[in-house]
Structure 1
Amino acid sequence: MLVEFLAGMQRYLSQTVLPLVADELDGAHLYGPLDAAAQAPTFLMMPVGAWLLSRFRVGRLLVVFTVVTAAGAVLCAVATSMPAFVVGTAVRALAAGALATVSMGAISRGLPPRYRQLVLAGMSGVWLFSSVLGPVYAVAVSTAFGWRWAMVLYLPLLLLARLLVARSMPERTQPAEAEPAPWAWSVALATGSAVLSLPLGAWSALAVLVGGGLMLRAAAAVLPDGTFRARSGRRAGLTALLVVAAVYFGATMVLSVVAHDAFGLGAGHFGFVIAAPGFAWAAAALWTGSHPALDDAGFRRRALRAGVVVALGVAVVLGTTLLAPAGDRPAFVGLLVGAALLGLGMGTVYPDLLGRCLSRPEQGDGISEDRMAAAVVVAESVGLALASTAAYGWLGGGLGLVEEPLQRAQVLYAVLLALAVVMLRVLVRAGRSAQVGAEGERGAVRPRGR
């Protein structure tokens, strides 16, 4: 849990110090390349995580990539120009992509299903503290010593925590099935994420279409064969995870922009709005993890209720953009309620959906533990990147079609509400156990991307 807490702090640290870095290094014009440097290397390493897990010990991987993380942080801290800071960010992102898969593999491989659910819930709960203490740490250290010290002061604690985890990490007791390293599709996935975030002005729509299409094609290749066509089983769960992530992150990550640009709310108001989803998610996940829905019927009931709550959250935000006057209390209340509902729904469905994907069925579906660990990370991250980047691009310029920020927000949440309806359908599919011989889900999965 300490490692997850520190990982959460890293994310909020980066967000907090970025304006300070850009101001000192005169790098505001390089926000686009910086975003690409933070995303593309992460997507490059995620799909090869299964290959790493099948060949190296989990503890060793944790230590190696933690050292790489520290090296990237040091490069950022000593950067004398924005391009140098971008390089350090890329190094950190390489490690982050690998660690995401390795950490999920450790949970999938080393814990029985009941304890796995509790750990997943606990990891969600830790973000309650990370979301508060991360910015507090970044602001306090940056104010007292400067942003450079904020980048590195926590590193000894991170290294110590990862070393302790690595020493106690259970290793597999049976020979591992060798996993392929899909380098070609990993490069395609990384390229798509970079294209997706290119700041091309009037051509941004083309960047979203090309980058998004490339990411989806690459995701279809690196995920288990037949994932996007599956109507049951763990493959259907992966599709549901991607769509749920797209709806949730597409709706929540842009709330500060909607609150400020569309309604004129100040930081004192929209700070509560952007904190609400994370708090609600963590609180709901703590309960869900301790009361898992282990059978198909129980999962479908919970997933549908949670999906309806997520859709209701989107509808409340949409209604707020349609009905609430700018700069008024109803706008703040509407956004806050919608954000809280989104987090509540996500926290209710996420631990069970993730646990369902990671739990190997008795009949077998041809997906190894290592490959599934990589698959859940890729599915969630692709959904997040596609939806959030497209949402930011739309709100930022309206693709030259819509001028008013409020109207852009209305269109965005109308589209997300339609996607939420699709989400309900794929959640039902995720609640069906795979049948023997169905969907091509029995037997070995054909290696891809060699």
Structure 2
Amino acid sequence: MTADDRSAAAPPRSRSVVTLAVSLVLVELLAGMQRYLSQTVLPLVAADLDGAHLYGPLDAAAQAPTFLTMPLGAWLLSRFRVGRLLVVLTLVTVAGAMLCALAPSMVVFIAGTAVRAAAAGALATVGMGVVARGLPPRHRQLVLAAMSGVWLVSSVLGPVYAAGVATTLGWRWAMVLYLPVLLVVRLVVARSAPERPESVPTEPAPWGWALVLAAGSAVLALPVGVWWPLVLPAGAALMVGAAARILPAGTLRARSGRRAGLTALGVTAAVYFGATMVLSVVAHDALGLGTRDVAVVVAAPGLLWAAVALWTGSHPASTDAAFRRRAALASGSLAAGVLVLLLAVLVAGPGRAGVLAALVAGGGLLGAGMGTVYPDLLGRCLTPPARGDGISEDRVAAAVVLAESVGMALATTAAYAWLGGGSALLAEPVDRARVLYAVLLGVSVLVVRRLLAAARPDVAGTAADGAGRRAA
């Protein structure tokens, strides 16, 4: 065993654990700012580069490359040193952001977005692997709580930063001014992250299914006019089918345990992100709000998510019954939020009084619902059960990120494509927003069923363990 191997095998010291934990929380803060930055400046970018008709392809560029790299996360973690992965992927992220900031056209901006997304997909899995691998159980739960709670800051700081810099220096400067801080914090995580202390078999790299997953995301955004409603189920089928093969065996059919939790995570993410990620476009294009009002609307969901998660994450549901109660409360809040947004675009309409308040209220209810259940749901997925279920630490890290991202991508890519390219069916943006929220209200019914399944302990036991090993 070499000196490097002995160093990697040594258990992390308490100071290293604290440094890693703080760095991970700071990375999450910057990730939140990035998300709000992208949402806030999107209408400004589209107006400046004459690209409002390319909302769908832009979102596909932000989603499809992640699905090329995200499923490979477990393979990367089992093959390469995590510190080196973090450094290389962060540099790719910086390069993509620079390309976006210098873009002379919407096509180049989309290309820069694709570069950032390719790095982000692998980073998400590698980062979750650091949480699962590098933190003791109690520290892990506290960090998950803090990672949710820190969005309390990023949900305010992100839109304020984006709106302030965009209105004074321009949206291009907003894309890059924060990058030095991101680079420094990621380097600290890379230095603090422990490597695997034991030799493990290399995880399989699902190249083929990763390509199918990315292709499905791209199909959702095809600009085919009146034929788009026919393209939608094809893209969705490709994504769901590929996810079923990449996720641990039996995940989409599971009625209990961590596999059911993964499915619940995907469905919940679909409703929340499908309703909230497009709020800047709905507020600006459909309801005529200005940049500062858009920033307030964009901030509301994350602010309430973080505020509620700060408490629920630090007071985890310790029993299945406690989780069921939180799941029921969260489901109701999510459905109520979608309903309020639907009423906002149905009743308020462009230019009417109360539009801003209604959008803030709807987004806030959605955020409160996620804050109620997300930390516990994530904890249930990452914590191994007493009886083996055949899912390794590296694989569950990849599965958590993939399940959430597939749900989010299905909803947001379809929503952006509909809002930006649905003019062949409905001419007015507000009419397209009404259809979107009506559909999401129906989908929200599935959330409660999947969350209740996640509340049941794993009843498959060793059978699931064997099935998981055969699938791997």
Q: Same fold, TM exceeding 0.5?
A: yes
- Evaluate the alpha carbon distance shift between residue 29 and residue 265 of structure 1 in structure 2; reply closer, same or farther with a 3 A threshold: closer
State whether structure 2 residue 378 is matched by structure 1 residue 354.
yes
1-side partners of 2:416 and 2:48: how far apart? 25
User: 2:157 aligns to what?
Assistant: 133
After TM superposition, list the pairs within 5 Å mapping 1:251-270 onto structure 2: 251-259=275-283, 265-267=289-291, 269-270=293-294
1:291-315, Cα deviation, whole Å (9 max, x unpaired):
0012211111111111122122223
Counterpart residue type for residue 303 of structure 1: A
Q: How far apart are residue 437 of structure 1 and its match?
A: 4.0
Shift of residue 154 of structure 1?
Answer: 3.0
Alignment of 1:22-421 (within 5 A): 32-79=56-103, 82-138=106-162, 140-141=164-165, 148-259=172-283, 265-267=289-291, 269-324=293-348, 327-396=351-420, 408-421=432-445
Structure 2: gaps of 5 or more residues: 1-24
Please tell me whether the aligned partners of residues 177 and 368 of structure 1 are also in contact (alpha carbons under 8 angstroms). no
Residue 44 (structure 2) pairs with residue 7 (structure 1):
no
Decide whether aligned partners of structure 1 residues 274 and 81 sit closer, same or farther in structure 2, where only a CA change above 3 A counts: closer
Shift of 1:363: 0.4
8 Å CA contact retained: 2:271, 2:440: yes
Q: 1:82 offset after TM fit, Å?
A: 4.8
Change (3 A) 1:23 1:343: closer
In 2, distance between residues paired with 1:133 and 1:40?
28
AA aligned to 1:45 is T
Residue correspondences, number: 448
Q: Which moves more between the two structures, 203-212 or 22-31?
A: 22-31
Shift of 1:426: 0.9
Query: Which moved further from structure 2: 328-337 or 206-215?
Result: 328-337
Q: Give, in whole Å, the separation in 1 of the partners of 2:54 and 2:421.
A: 18
Mapped partners of 2:54, 2:172: distance in 1: 19
Measure the CA separation in 2 of the matches of 1:396 and 1:87. 18
Q: Aligned equivalents of 1:53 and 1:389: distance in 2?
A: 28
Query: SS in structure 1 opposite 2:385?
Result: coil
In structure 2, how many angstroms separate the alpha carbons of the residues matched to 1:328 and 1:162?
45
Q: Does the aligned pair in 2 maintain the 1:182–1:448 contact within 8 Å?
A: no
Q: Which residue identity is paired with 1:428?
A: L
Secondary structure in 2 matching 1:181: coil
Query: CA shift at 1:146, angstroms?
Result: 5.5
Instruction: State the AA in 2 paired with 1:442.
Output: D
| Paired residues of 1:313 and 1:337 also in contact (CA < 8 A) | yes
SS of the residue 1:42 aligns to: helix
Please say which of residues 395-404 and 308-317 is displaced more in the overlay: 395-404
User: Residues 218 and 138 (structure 1 numbering): CA distance in 2 closer, same or farther, change over 3 Å?
Assistant: same
How far apart are 1:27 and its partner, in Å? 5.8
Judge conservation of contact 1:204–1:399 (CA < 8 Å) in 2.
Answer: no
Instruction: Say whether the 8 Å CA contact 2:56–2:221 is kept in structure 1.
Output: yes
Of stretches 203-212 and 330-339 in structure 1, the one that deviates more from structure 2 is: 330-339
Greater shift after overlay, 372-381 or 392-401?
392-401
Q: Give the root-mean-square deviation of aligned CA atoms.
A: 2.9
Inter-CA distance 226–409: structure 2 relative to 1 (3 Å threshold):
same
Report SS of the residue matched to 1:115. Answer: helix
* TM-aligned CA deviation for residue 373 of structure 1: 0.7
In the TM superposition, what whole-angstrom CA distance separates every residue of 1:235-269 from its partner, at most 9, and x where no partner exists? 00011011111111122223344445665555554
State the shift of 1:157 in Å.
2.3
Deviates more, 1:217-226 or 1:254-263: 254-263
Distance, in Å, in 1 between the alignment partners of 2:438 and 2:100 is: 40
Name the CA distance, whole Å, in 1 between partners of 2:302 and 2:313: 16
C-alpha deviation, 1:286, in angstroms: 0.5
What do the CA deviations read for 1:347-379 (whole angstroms, capped 9, x no partner)? 110010011001111101001111111111111
Q: Which AA in structure 1 matches 2:279?
A: L
Deviation of 1:120 after TM superposition, in Å, equals 1.6
- SS of aligned partner of 1:198: coil
TM-score w.r.t. the length of structure 2 is 0.85
Question: Higher mean Cα deviation, 386-395 or 8-17?
Answer: 8-17
Question: 1:443 — aligned with what?
Answer: 466
Offset of residue 198 of structure 1: 2.1
Partners of 1:153 and 1:198 lie apart in 2 by 33
Shift of 1:106: 0.8
Judging changes above 3 Å, is the alpha-carbon distance between structure 1 residues 155 and 208 closer, same or farther for their aligned structure 2 residues? same
Alpha-carbon shift at residue 175 of structure 1 (Å): 2.6
Tell me, in whole angstroms, the C-alpha distance in 1 between the residues paired with 2:360 and 2:164.
27
Structure 1 unaligned segments of length 5 or more: list them.
Answer: none
The question of whether the paired residues in 1 share the 8 Å contact of 2:55 and 2:417 is answered with: no
2: CA distance, partners of 1:403 / 1:41: 31
181-190 vs 417-426, greater mean Cα deviation: 417-426
Alpha carbons 1:59, 1:165 under 8 Å: kept? yes
State the distance in 2 between where 1:22 and 1:106 align: 36
